[in-house]
Chains A and B, each alone.
Chain A
Amino acid sequence: MNMKKFIQTSINNERVEFICEPRDSLLSILRENLRLTGTKEGCNNGNCGACNVIIDGVLVNSCLVLAVEVEGKKIETIEGLAGKDDLHPIQNAFLEEAALQCGICTPGFIIATKNLLDINPNPTEQEIRKSLAGNLCRCTGYDKIVRAVIDVAKISNNKGDE
């Protein structure tokens, strides 16, 4: 029984095509077939956020998405965040604040932060903490991650004021 499906989608604004089985998760297709290993696997059941990507503007755990579901969708992954010449301000803030230690959770946190700031450009500390609660970090105690997000929000808001 051959159940392979041919899927067309867009990843980081590039048209991408792949073949998968219905049981393949988007995460495994990203990591193993498309070699986009920036999206990490920490639990494979929706509990850690390391695999976060944004699909059509919605933040999801790619381990809880079947690859066949993304036909015709727009996917954003960590690999698409930096600009041609510059890192994304969130990436810079994480570096400035030393918001990573081992860094395995970092892509997920950065994607989740992007989603948060897209929706709420000026979050309070509690809003940041709540909206990042689906992302686990075991190294940092979250302090510097939260500070980094506060920093980016401030920076982009100041830019907006100018």
Chain B
Amino acid sequence: MQNFDYIRVKSKDELSELLDKQNKEIKLLSGGTDLIPQLREGKKDIEIIVDVKNINEMNELSFDNTLGLYIGAAVSCLNICQDVKVKTMYPGLIDAISLIGGVQIQGRASVGGNLCNSSPAADSIPALIVHKSICIIESKDGIREVPVEQFCTGPGKNVLNKNEFLAGIRVPKVDPEFGAAYLRFIPRNEMDIAVVGVGASVEIKEGHITTARLALGAVDATPRYFDDVFEPLLGMAINDENLDRILDDIGQSISTRINPITDMRGSAEQRKHLSKVLTKRTLLKAIERASNQQEVN
């Protein structure tokens, strides 16, 4: 591994200041579960590693009745998954976040890191997208907000400018009508990167589907958001006998609109096939969650 300097910052201001002034190659370190292996594989241009996980504001995990959930960029997956509020209100997020690595990875990995690493296969991203989540990006120049589906721009690439960092993610408050889920396919049961991952959310009012969202990972250069394939679902009763067929059709149409690659984790054809299968399964799970949610209330 090439040598680099290590700086620990204690506040967002300190971080903004540092990013603004430095003309050296900087990388932020959160849990390091992506960054450290990458450095070891020979990313040579990095001169300074700035550790952001000791910034209190970036470890904030809070819920507000109007704004919804705020996940500081450095909060570990473990802390999110242990949070009772997140567990009960956002099971679709937990689906995804709890899948990131095994126990040893969970304690270090952050959702902020998962987003900023911007892998097309990152598990949290499709789930965040279908929750309509927003990236809060900060710099010396101020704060800007970017919907998660617009954050990644290519494998390992995102909208962050050199002087910017991800401060946190805001996940809007969900209504009782809302249900979301994330499913991924991996050959083993743990310790694999998604061959395909699908996030879905729906809202159900009086037994009828009123909105639906779908996002897929590992099927293109960035996670893909589909907001238009749901016309056939809208207004449909959740016990409609045609639901099954329509979900198949949606899966089919999705599988023709993605551009998966063939690599060691799966072939393009297999990924298309799995996209179809998982689209249906994930939507069904989201529908089930939304309807159970209403029974509870």
Contacts and interface: CB of A to CB of B under 8 A. Distances in A.
Interface of A: 1, 3, 5, 21-23, 25, 44-47, 49, 52, 58-61, 63-66, 68-69, 71, 112, 115-116, 130-131, 133-135
Given A21-B3, A133-B103, 11 more contacts: A3-B3, A3-B4, A3-B6, A22-B4, A46-B105, A49-B104, A58-B76, A58-B78, A66-B6, A69-B32, A69-B51
A45 B78 contact: no
Given A23-B4, A134-B191, A58 B102 contact: no
11 contacts: A1-B3, A21-B3, A23-B3, A58-B78, A59-B107, A60-B104, A66-B36, A112-B104, A134-B105, A134-B190, A134-B191
Contacts of A5: 6
A61 B3 contact: no
A44 B40 contact: yes
Given A64-B32, A66-B6, A23 B1 contact: yes
Interface in B190-206: 190-191
Contacts of A46: 33, 36-37, 101, 104-105
Interface in B99-121: 101-105, 107-108
What band does the interface of chain B fall in when counting residues whose beta carbon is under 8 Å from A?
A: 20 to 34
B49 interface: yes
B108 A60 contact: yes
A65 B5 contact: no
A35 B8 CA distance: 27
B52 to A, nearest CB: 12
A1 B51 CA distance: 20
In the A-B complex, the 6 residue pairs with the closest CB atoms: A134-B102, A22-B6, A133-B190, A58-B107, A23-B1, A45-B37
Nearest to A130: B190
Contacts of A3: 3-6
Given A69-B51, A134-B101, A134-B103, A64 B36 contact: yes
Output the residue of B51, B76, B191 with the most chain A CB within 10 A: B191
A134 B108 contact: no
Contacts of A133: 102-103, 189-191
A66 B3 contact: no
A60 B103 CA distance: 8
A63 B101 CA distance: 15
Contacts of B253: none
A1 B3 CA distance: 10
B104 A59 contact: yes
A42 B27 CA distance: 27
A46 B102 CA distance: 10
B39 interface: yes
B102 A49 contact: yes
B32 A66 contact: yes
A49 B190 CA distance: 13
A18 to B, nearest CB: 14
B2 interface: yes
B95 to A, nearest CB: 15
Contacts of B107: 58-60
